[in-house]
Structure 1
Amino acid sequence: MKEQWLQLKGERRTLPKLILGTANFGDPSREDLAQEVFDAYEELGGRVFDTARAYGNGEKALKRWLTTINPDSGRSRMAQRNQYTIITKCCHPKSGSSSPRVTPKAVREDLNASLRTLGVDYVEVLLFHRDDETMAVGPLMEVMAELLAEGKIGGFGFSNWSQKRITQAIAYCRKNGLATPIANSPNYSLAQVNGQRWPGCLTADEEMLRWHTQNQLPLLAWSPQAEGFFVPRYESENGKNHAPTDYVAAYFNTVNWRRLAAVEKKATEKQLAPTQLALAYVMQRPDFPVAAIVGTSSVTHLKEAWEAQTISLTNSELQQLACD
């Protein structure tokens, strides 16, 4: 397996196979549940959290967890802030609007708001949450360089950017002596998507995966379990009447039904949950560093996902799961 690390400013930090996402805790009523899941993740050994301003209460819930005083030690986790890696994002369209916000001004506005909400002075990684291809990459790379110099971020990267745009950004940074991006976070799972559920999102296709192999930029996969497709949430085409319309449009196709059947068969053979097998498929890329961002509101499901890191699949088994 490829060595897993993120090259932060002045530090080489381990990149785990499993990152805990906070998108499931956007509703303030789930904040207590978030604390339970965060606790369980830490107890398992997890230290890397993915969040964003667009996730509602996610950053606030993470702040509460980081600042809660341990009655035994009399200290909060902030006393050991360097043990935790926080990934947050900028430049998402405002709620109810589709207008792009990919500008240097929006980068600063969003990061400063996130730092206040999280109660921290810096984050390890800042990702562009969306792209606007009419915006030149130069000013965007320059503002990231400024934030690095100010100590507000340890590194930066992209979510939902094409490899063409990422290549342009890397070229600009190299030409101008700036720090280069350290990660890319597209949608990536065993499921083959028909189209995106949300505007501005991007799924890693074979061309992007080849690009990652060539460039060795770490890939942080969001929705690595295809939003529960391999639970399975909807057994077959018969489930179409029960599934959200946009979910049907994204995931319902003959390739995915075949892959679901292959996952269920192999999971039975290995005595695993189908979701564990589908997640292991993502985390076992042998050709470049990859981590899976898992969003769950269940400690039981979190533990299953954690165990998926230890599942060993042969090349033949990987090919069997990805049957077309």
Structure 2
Amino acid sequence: MQYGKIPGLNKPIARVVQGSTMIGSDLDETKSFALLDKVYALGGNTIDTAHVYSGGNSERIIGRWLQARGLRDKIVIITKGAAPSADRQRITPFDITADLHDSLVRLKTDHVDLYLLHRDDPSQPVEPIIDILNEHRRAGKILAFGGSNWSHQRIEAANAYALANGLEPFVASSPQYGLAEALGEPWPLCLSISGSTASKAREWYVENQLPVLAWSPLASGFFSGRFTRDNLHTFGDREWDRVCVSTYASEPNFQRLDRATALGSEKGLTAAQIALAFALNQPMNIFAVVGSTNIDTFNANVLASEVQLTPQEMDWLDLKSDSR
């Protein structure tokens, strides 16, 4: 396992972050405990969860696992709050505070290592948001904070206010990023920095080296090989299948999949490993959040994080060149 750093945290951060959308839904507590035990044994010390995952059961199970194993001081906990509800946007000091307090109880801890705002509402001013996050940081309830699905312009505005007022800034960002280009939002208010239209955002992240916790770098399973040009009609209403088909099943992405498969065959790797290596070889300060449901997949992702791709291979995979 390779590790990086995030300002404000004194623990190493695994470059392959274990996602947890499946914990408490697809995986019950027994299976979740077994998975987390094995992830930790392989060096996976960083877990990404959220207030809304599995109706709160993701955080609850992770909290019980941390308590049962006595590992709280060894694990980096990333959780997210203030996601919108079916009724309204919730990027307010009140909602941030309420969700954080829920998460602390569920996770059975007195602090979250990295707290991310799950969505943004650009109609809300950044000043009260930075103020309340700093209040919780001073109280020791969070060690550092950032935004998930926040544009780099909004992060820049928030951090400018923090700098001008002697406050702590956002230290990390979690957009969607990967080899496949998203066709749209898989869920409302999601933000991707993949593809040609987001090149300015990626340039900003390269220049500023703000840590990027890229979610869905494998495009919701698109690079698994399950999805082909001629079988898309066979997938039903299962959420992740629906998201994959509607968000990533385009001809350019199938061409990227073809190339990842071919390059992987030459290197003894899967298309998914090549796609993950593509993300982690970017010049951004990047970490990959991947929801491995079994230890073999997690181990494959760790191996992928050690793969070095040449600039020529990267351009070829991304359809920017026809030669490598």
Partner residue in 2 for 1:300: 296
- In structure 1, what is the Cα distance between the partners aligned to 2:255 and 2:21? 29
Which string of whole-angstrom CA distances, capped at 9 and with x for unpartnered residues, describes residues 88-107 of structure 1? 0110123xx05210000011
TM-score, scaled to structure 2: 0.91
1:215 to 196, 208, 212: 208
- In structure 1, what is the Cα distance between the partners aligned to 2:218 and 2:249? 14
Contact (CA 8 Å) 2:110, 2:141: kept in 1 or not?
yes
1:284 to 275, 278, 281: 281
Partner residue in 1 for 2:78: 87
Return the offset for 1:152. Answer: 0.5
Partner residue in 2 for 1:44: 42
1:256 to 253, 257, 269: 253
Return the offset for 1:29. Answer: 5.6
2:266 to 264, 269, 274: 269
- In structure 2, what is the Cα distance between the partners aligned to 1:292 and 1:246? 19
1:191 to 170, 180, 187: 180
Partner residue in 2 for 1:73: none
Unaligned runs of 5+ in 1: 70-75
Return the offset for 1:14. Answer: 2.5
Contact (CA 8 Å) 2:221, 2:244: kept in 1 or not?
no
Return the offset for 1:15. Answer: 2.7
Which string of whole-angstrom CA distances, capped at 9 and with x for unpartnered residues, describes residues 90-128 of structure 1? 10123xx05210000011000000000000000110000
Root mean square deviation, CA, Å: 1.7
Detail structure 1 runs of 4+ shifted over 3 Å in the superposition: 243-247
1:319 to 284, 306, 315: 315
Q: Which amino acid aligns with 2:165?
A: N
Contact (CA 8 Å) 2:35, 2:294: kept in 1 or not?
yes
Partner residue in 2 for 1:162: 151
Q: Percent identity?
A: 33
CA separation of 1:235 and 1:299: change in aligned 2, threshold 3 A: same
Partner residue in 1 for 2:91: 102
Does residue 129 (structure 1) correspond to residue 118 (structure 2)? The answer is: yes
- In structure 2, what is the Cα distance between the partners aligned to 1:178 and 1:271? 49
- In structure 2, what is the Cα distance between the partners aligned to 1:295 and 1:29? 12
Alignment size in residue pairs = 308
Return the offset for 1:232. Answer: 1.6
Does residue 172 (structure 1) correspond to residue 191 (structure 2)? The answer is: no
CA separation of 1:320 and 1:98: change in aligned 2, threshold 3 A: farther
Contact (CA 8 Å) 1:36, 1:299: kept in 2 or not?
no
Q: RCO greater where, 1 or 2, for CA within 8 Å and sep 6 or more?
A: 1
Unaligned runs of 5+ in 2: 236-240
